[in-house]
Amino acid sequence: MYLRERVKMRKITILLFLTILIFLTSLLPNFAHHDFPVSKYYIKNEIVQVKASNIVCSIVWDYRGFDTLGEATVFFTAVSAIMALRRRR
């Protein structure tokens, strides 16, 4: 009987979580119709400043280099911690 209650509570929790997630997703703005001025700046100045043929790589590595370095550091730290925890078992 205790197991049935736990399964029922788990299903209710998942259903509640999915309902909240769908509701919050419906509140997000439609990004397809917005005009971001920073994107115009990147497109206009990428060839002159960076001299790269690929605009995506120039944004990730040149304009947002420190941000990318920070994300890579966080990712590396998380993977290292997971591997350290798995090794102990």
Residue 89 has pLDDT above 90, yes or no: no
pTM over 0.75: no
Q: In sequence order, which ranges of 1-89 are alpha helices (DSSP H)?
A: 2-26, 37-49, 55-58, 65-88
Tens digits of residue pLDDT in 53-70: 888 888 877 778 888 888
Question: For the chain, which residues make up each domain, given as ranges?
Answer: 2-29+37-88
Question: 56 to each of 3, 30, 35, 60, 68, how far by Cα in Å?
Answer: 51, 22, 18, 6, 13
Give me the sign of the Cα torsion angle 46, 48, 49, 52: positive
pLDDT for 81 equals 94
